[in-house]
Chain A
Amino acid sequence: MPRGVAWKMGLIVFLILGSFWYLYPTIRLWQLNPAERGEMARNDPKGWIDLQRKAIKLGLDLKGGMHVVLEVDRSKLNPDEAKDAVDRAKEILRNRVDAFGVTEPVIQKQGADRIVVELPGITDVERAQELIGRTAQLEFKLTETPEKAQLLVDRIDKTLEALGGGDTSGISSDTSKSGEKPNEDVYQDLFGKDSGKAKGDTGAALAAKDTGGSVLPPQVPTERPLSSLLDPSRRGTGWMVRRDESPLVKNLLARPEVQKLIPPDLEFAWGTKAQYTGGIEEEQLYLLKKQTEMSGKYLTDAKPSFDQFRKPIVSFQLTREGGRQFARLTGANIGKPLAIILDGRVESAPEIQSRINDRGQITMGTGTSYDEANDLAIVLRAGALPAPVKIIENNVIGPSLGNDSINKGFLASLLGGLAVILIMGIYYQLSGVIADFAVMLNVLFLMAVLAVLHATLTMPGIAGIVLTVGISVDSNVLIFERIREEMRAGKSVKSAIDAGYSRAMVTIIDSHVTTLITALALFMFGTGPIKGFAVTLFWGVAISLFTAVVGTRVVFDIRREYKTLSI
């Protein structure tokens, strides 16, 4: 055996073994059926997480999940705050996302103002989106007194009574769709869960989509139209509205005639969560003073906890300046409710029990759970960010679509691989078969590299693997054509092989580097799935430079002494 061949063969064997070693977790993971996975998650949680981490990650388009891009509006911040606003928002999001226990969530800054959040395989998409989308402004506002509130409602009643009744033609149930939310939602389908959470909206935020402005929907009672839909709140401020009647209330409140009656320093606001009382779901409506008494930016910490009665509370901390302001506010308004508002919706409106400086606690109220206290605490901590965040891109992919894509990807790879194997085998005979083995090695090494790099495999990434199969043979084609050429010119097998490899080398390197350049450009400027493609293309081509040259050379070195060459 010619010298040098031995260590080359040794190297190749070593790499093959190494590849299998790195790919073992992936193979094992894919072999487990759902039942076995659940079992492992229960019995060996650490091992389970470890296995997933070591296996090749599947992109969102293959696994299903949520991909959301948020933009932080820094326009209202001063330069100091603006500098780290996005980072703070990122940390805050990380906290919230951690609460979901998603394996390997992705939260990344994108550019100067944006944050990307990816939650693969998430099932409770609605809760996720609510929590993420609720990175909002935190405000503290006072409520209007019950007496004055009632006066306003009476005035509204009178105005509505004057409008109402009679002609119901041309009004279908569609005209109240501005407030209507169905029971099912977008995500129940995909993930099979009925979250059943109330999704209220600020009455003021809804545009009145009615076509005929002056006729009331038929469901509205003709006497005391608004009041009859409002029940006095057990909490002492605001009212309760039955969940199925709340769209109606929203509709009424949104009407221009009603809007005109609301004094400029007051506003209606809805609560964030529905309450269950005696089997009936109810939402809370508040009448607030518009003035923001204090902003959430003075909040430094908020933690869920239990008070001495073992009830869940949230204990919070403010800055010195915040403490001063808060002391003034609470001192002057003892006994009154203080609404904690997140993104225009009232999270809670506890009564001010005493003058509070920079440390206080919020009692969650009867029937609340520790989880709710925790959610509030998280939201408060997040609300400490004075910059609003809005969702500018939202992608949700169901898992079934992903599975479909994976299957198709594999089918395409097999088909493509088969075609290449046939072409090479027929055209170059035995040498072609050797080249085919090199291609298979190429794919094996490529997958191993993906595993080592913890790269994410996306659908375009699979396309990249398929492309690599087609491109990697090119090196061999060039070498073989050169060998043929040399042999046609009369050279012996030995020198033809030598000449073939050395002369073709230059061309091989040049032609592959150009593909590498574009793969690099794609990697630099591409987003998620495109990056996945760039990675597989880049490494596929890079590795093919190795397997085509070193790999097949080894075999040819063995064949050098032959009189004829099957090529």
Chain B
Amino acid sequence: MPIRIIGDTKVDFIGKRKIAFLVSGILVILGLAATVMLSFGKGNLGIQFVGGTMLEGYFEQPIETSAIRSALGSAGFADAEIQQLQGRAQANSFLVRIKSDPAIAKQAGQSVLDALRKAFPGNPFHMDSVHEVGPAVGKTLQSQARWAVLVSLLGILVYITLRFDFRFGVAATIATFHDILAVLAILYLMNVEITILVITALLTLAGYSLTDTVIVYDRIRENLKKYHKKADFVPAINRSINEVLSRTILTSSTVLAVVIALYVAGGPVLRDFAMSLIFGVVIGTYSSWFVASPIYVEWESRNPKRFKA
């Protein structure tokens, strides 16, 4: 006997849409707020976007963050962010971040290194990597990120419209946009550093959350062919979602499994990326049930095309 996690369910997804809209609405508003804040530079944006210098390395002996901070402070880097890094191959690993240093090229990185060496002569500091970004680079990157998002959403709208119809297309695009904003809102509240990798994660989840949405839409399309009375519209939609429930859960689970593996084992570089995707997959699945379909339903019920009473 095959294992079935979800049997024949009869969840009234459409009926619950008011609550869903509320929750989603809050998330979207938060996400929009986060976007606005970020474009004004408020919030934890990576140096790729705002310029600055980032240095990673390790000390041979243990050392207090406060000691590093005062050493850098007297070297003229009073606003440096210092973070002790966990889970690195070397203990006593630290990250030093200085925002928008206009003296790009070897200057800032070298100066920080000198300051650390001078202040702690008995405790050598070894550098693992340095990233120095001038402020002009960030602007280009920001616009590139925006374009990528725009093009993606447009592509999605066009494709879904071609394969289904315009209303499905719009509903799917709204759901995708909702997913991106919702995850961004969560990341912003958690004060996660928004790097180009995080933006990549957001775009990936945009593309991926559609796989769920498409699965639901496909079934809706199939079922709607069989039902022609207006009263059967909402039940048909509900039934569709219920029928594909195990499918959407399972496809999301497999992706969730690998993304969790990435989070746990992938190392510090990919951690934020993986976390964004974890949120993304969960929210993406949720939005396929509670956002994409209900929006379509709302639109249809107010402005029916399919069923004339």
A and B found bound together: yes
Decide yes or no whether B295 CB sits under 8 A from chain A: no
Decide yes or no whether A408 CB sits under 8 A from chain B: yes
**How near does chain A come to B282, taking the closest CB pair, in angstroms?**
14
Are A514 and B270 neighbours in the complex by a CB distance under 8 Å?
no
Are A460 and B197 neighbours in the complex by a CB distance under 8 Å?
yes
Given contacts A393-B133, A419-B257, A484-B2, contact A401 B214 (CB under 8 A): no
Are B148 and A427 neighbours in the complex by a CB distance under 8 Å?
no
Provide a sorted-by-A list of 17 A–B residue pairs whose CB atoms are within 8 angstroms.
Answer: A69-B137, A184-B117, A186-B130, A394-B106, A395-B132, A398-B127, A408-B266, A412-B267, A460-B270, A466-B261, A467-B258, A470-B256, A474-B255, A477-B250, A507-B214, A511-B210, A522-B200
Which of the candidate stretches A76-84, A159-167, A524-532 sits at the interface with the other chain?
A524-532
B binding-site residues for A, Cβ under 8 Å: 2-3, 5, 56-57, 74, 88-89, 104-106, 109-110, 113-114, 117-118, 126-134, 136-137, 140-141, 144-145, 147-149, 151-152, 155-156, 159-160, 163, 196-197, 200, 203-204, 206-208, 210-212, 214-215, 218, 243-244, 246-247, 250-251, 253-262, 264-267, 269-270, 273-274, 277
Are A411 and B265 neighbours in the complex by a CB distance under 8 Å?
yes
Are B109 and A394 neighbours in the complex by a CB distance under 8 Å?
yes
Are A478 and B156 neighbours in the complex by a CB distance under 8 Å?
no
Are B147 and A518 neighbours in the complex by a CB distance under 8 Å?
no
A binding-site residues for B, Cβ under 8 Å: 61, 69, 71, 111, 129, 133, 174, 177, 182, 184-186, 189-190, 390-398, 400-401, 404-405, 408-409, 411-413, 415-417, 419-420, 423-424, 426-429, 459-460, 463, 466-467, 469-471, 473-474, 477-478, 481, 484-485, 506-507, 510-522, 524-527, 529-530, 533, 537, 567
Q: Which A residues touch B149, using CB under 8 A?
A: 521
Q: Which A residues touch B105, using CB under 8 A?
A: 129, 133, 390-391, 394
Given contacts A419-B261, A481-B247, A511-B214, contact A470 B255 (CB under 8 A): yes
Are A514 and B106 neighbours in the complex by a CB distance under 8 Å?
no
Q: In the complex, given contacts A415-B264, A567-B2, what are 10 additional A-B residue pairs having Cβ atoms less than 8 angstroms apart?
A: A174-B74, A184-B117, A186-B113, A394-B130, A396-B130, A401-B129, A429-B2, A463-B273, A525-B144, A525-B151
- Cα-based distance from A69 to B105 in the complex (angstroms): 10
Q: Which of B140, B160, B243, B257 contacts A423 (CB 8 A)?
A: B257
Q: Which of A412, A469, A537 contacts B266 (CB 8 A)?
A: A412
Are A477 and B106 neighbours in the complex by a CB distance under 8 Å?
no
- Cα-based distance from A397 to B215 in the complex (angstroms): 43
Are A394 and B114 neighbours in the complex by a CB distance under 8 Å?
no
Q: Which of A189, A411, A473 contacts B254 (CB 8 A)?
A: A473
Are A471 and B147 neighbours in the complex by a CB distance under 8 Å?
no
**How near does chain A come to B241, taking the closest CB pair, in angstroms?**
14
**How near does chain B come to A380, taking the closest CB pair, in angstroms?**
22
Q: Which B residues touch A526, using CB under 8 A?
A: 144, 148, 196, 200
Are B270 and A463 neighbours in the complex by a CB distance under 8 Å?
yes
**How near does chain A come to B198, taking the closest CB pair, in angstroms?**
11
Q: Which B residues touch A408, using CB under 8 A?
A: 265-267, 269-270
Q: Which B residues touch A517, using CB under 8 A?
A: 152, 155-156, 159, 207
**How near does chain B come to A476, taking the closest CB pair, in angstroms?**
9
Q: Which A residues touch B5, using CB under 8 A?
A: 427
- Cα-based distance from A73 to B253 in the complex (angstroms): 51
Given contacts A394-B132, A463-B266, contact A530 B196 (CB under 8 A): yes
Are A512 and B211 neighbours in the complex by a CB distance under 8 Å?
yes
Are B207 and A515 neighbours in the complex by a CB distance under 8 Å?
yes
Given contacts A394-B132, A514-B159, A530-B196, contact A186 B267 (CB under 8 A): no
Q: Which B residues touch A515, using CB under 8 A?
A: 204, 207-208, 210-211
